[in-house]
Amino acid sequence: MLVKPARSNLPGLPSRHNRRRLRSRIVLSFFLLGLGLSTLIAVATLYFRNRIDHDVMDAALQKNNDLYADGFYQHPNGIAGVAFEKIQGKVFSKEKFDHAPPAWQSLPNGVFDIVEPAPGTGEKSYYKLAVRKDPNYWFFMAYDTHDEHEAQLRLNRWILASIGVFSIFALVIGIWSASRVMSPVSDLVRLIRRRSGEGANAKALAPRFPNDEVGELARALDDYSDRINDAARREREFNADVSHELRTPLAVIRSTVELMLEQPDLGDKMRERIQRIQRAQEGGTAITETLLLLSRGERVRGETSVARVAEQLLDAHRLQQRRGKQLDLRMEGNTALMVDAPEATVNVALGNLIANAVRYTDTGSVTVHIGVNSVDVIDTGRGLSQEDEQRMAERGYRGGASGNTKGAGIGLAIVTRICALYGWQMQVQPRRDGTIGTVATLDFSDVR
């Protein structure tokens, strides 16, 4: 488990790089709406125009072909072909069925669209053909649709051009509408950013906006900001009161312990007990000062020896060793490592890791290994489950190996907050050397 400084991204939300701006979504919606409607209207126009043209032309051509056949039967000695302005009629007797164009011979009765190469030119010829086949005569009437085909192509080009024009028009309308819609939202965002630097003295947002959706949002933000400021004020007052009230009894305990340790006739057992009280007082002072800094979000500079703090913490645990649980507590490594932080802060961060190692180790050792810019707390305890490794830093989580051990499960949560404030990293993972146990690493490198 690797704990890094906290970030502002919320779970379940897309990252900043993957989010599409609301303005862009509005413009895109208008563009797609214009494109879709233009395309739908164009397709519907072409479909119904072609449908109506086909129906009218087919009916007219079929009617003319029937009239042509009826006229032929009434005057059988007339000519075999009748030429009109774009219409040509032909009749073939039973003996001359094979004289009909090959493409027409296999067609049944009805009206057909024919496309074939024009004689001599090689260009395509478009025409409609009405077919009526009686037992003794075949009647054909062809209608030249070349001009209609060319007109259809021109219409298609104009419709495609109109789709592009309407889409561009929709895009322009979308950009203009998005600017109008997003203008108050952009103003609200700008005021919020400016307000973040004004603190509790910031002016209300709602009076600057009309009574619309953005105004409702501004009022909700004002209400939320007031509640946050009120909670922050109460927290600051509480922390100040607790810090003030705790410092006095801790100072009394410290002075009293120092006086007691100066007694020349003090026995060894009594001296050990008083030293335990002294260690507890020092730990209480450190945690009080650290929690006060965390509540303020204040990163205080300092020059602290990690080795000195680690040795003091190990001495305190040696004094607290119970009967039946004798652990080998030792320190090794780079004793010259200095950290730019108050001693109380390093004491709390490292102290929680060592306390956890001692608490969950029944036999064996707890080793504090100080590296170049980090410290490892290595134990031979009960180890970590996969769930423990993932949830170890959660506030209130104690782990599956906690058993009957005492603790509220907030130690590593406090260390996590310290890491976020100072840019450190904390990692808790099982040992990788084949030994049961845990390695808790505190890296003092500033990763921000």
pLDDT 10s digits, 125-179: 888 898 999 999 999 988 888 777 777 777 778 877 877 787 787 778 777 777 7
Find the mean pLDDT for residues 383-406.
Answer: 60
Q: How far apart are CA 112 and CA 81, in angstroms?
A: 19
Split at pLDDT 50, 70, 90, the class of 18 is very low
The reply to whether 429 falls in a domain is yes
Shared-domain flag, residues 56 and 164: yes
The reply to whether 3 falls in a domain is no
Query: Which pair of tokens denotes residue 265?
Result: 């006739």
The reply to whether 6 falls in a domain is no
Query: Which pair of tokens denotes residue 56?
Result: 């009218």
The reply to whether 9 falls in a domain is no
Split at pLDDT 50, 70, 90, the class of 251 is confident
Q: How far apart are CA 177 and CA 123, in angstroms?
A: 51
Shared-domain flag, residues 212 and 77: no
Domain boundary among 162, 194, 226: 194
Range in 19-33, 346-360, 363-377 the model is least confident about: 19-33
Find the mean pLDDT for residues 207-235.
Answer: 80
Range in 53-62, 120-129, 403-412, 435-444 the model is least confident about: 403-412
Shared-domain flag, residues 139 and 68: yes
Can you give the pLDDT at residue 336?
A: 92
Shared-domain flag, residues 345 and 273: no
Provide the number of structural domains found in the chain. 3
Q: How many CA atoms lie within 13 A of 14 on its CB side?
A: 6
Find the mean pLDDT for residues 266-288.
Answer: 79
pLDDT above 50 (res 69): yes
Q: Name the residue with higher pLDDT: 435 or 9.
A: 435
pLDDT digits (tens, 9 = 90+) for 46-64: 777 777 677 767 776 777 7
Burial classification of residue 341, based on how many CB atoms lie within 10 Å of its CB (0-12 exposed, 13-18 middle, 19 or more buried):
buried
Domain boundary among 167, 194, 221: 194
Max avg pLDDT among 19-33, 59-73, 295-309, 380-394 = 295-309
The reply to whether 13 falls in a domain is no
Q: How far apart are CA 377 and CA 436, in angstroms?
A: 14
Shared-domain flag, residues 207 and 282: yes
Helix/strand/coil (H, E, C) string of the chain?
A: CEECCCCCCCCCCCCCCCCCCHHHHHHHHHHHHHHHHHHHHHHHHHHHHHHHHHHHHHHHHHHHHHHHHHHHHHCCCCCCEEECCCEEEEEEEHHHHHHCCHHHHCCCCEEEEEEEECCCCCCEEEEEEEEEECCCEEEEEEEECHHHHHHHHHHHHHHHHHHHHHHHHHHHHHHHHHHHHHHHHHHHHHHHHHHHCCHHHCCCCHHHCCCCHHHHHHHHHHHHHHHHHHHHHHHHHHHHHHHHHHHHHHHHHHHHHHHHHCCCCCCHHHHHHHHHHHHHHHHHHHHHHHHHHHHHCCCCCCCEEHHHHHHHHHHHHHHCCCCCCCCEEEEEECCCCEECCCHHHHHHHHHHHHHHHHHCCCCCEEEEEECCCEEEEEECCCCCCHHHHHHCCCCCCCCCCCCCCCCCCCHHHHHHHHHHHHCCEEEEEECCCCCCCEEEEEECCCCC
Q: Name the residue with higher pLDDT: 105 or 77.
A: 105
Query: Which pair of tokens denotes residue 30?
Result: 């208008």
Can you give the pLDDT at residue 422?
A: 87
pLDDT above 60 (res 12): no
Task: Tell me the pLDDT of the chain averaged across its residues.
Answer: 77
Find the mean pLDDT for residues 307-322.
Answer: 84
361: CATH:
3.30.565.10
pLDDT above 70 (res 362): yes
Domain boundary among 251, 270, 297: 297
Find the mean pLDDT for residues 188-217.
Answer: 74
Domain of residue 81 covers 21-194
Shared-domain flag, residues 52 and 169: yes
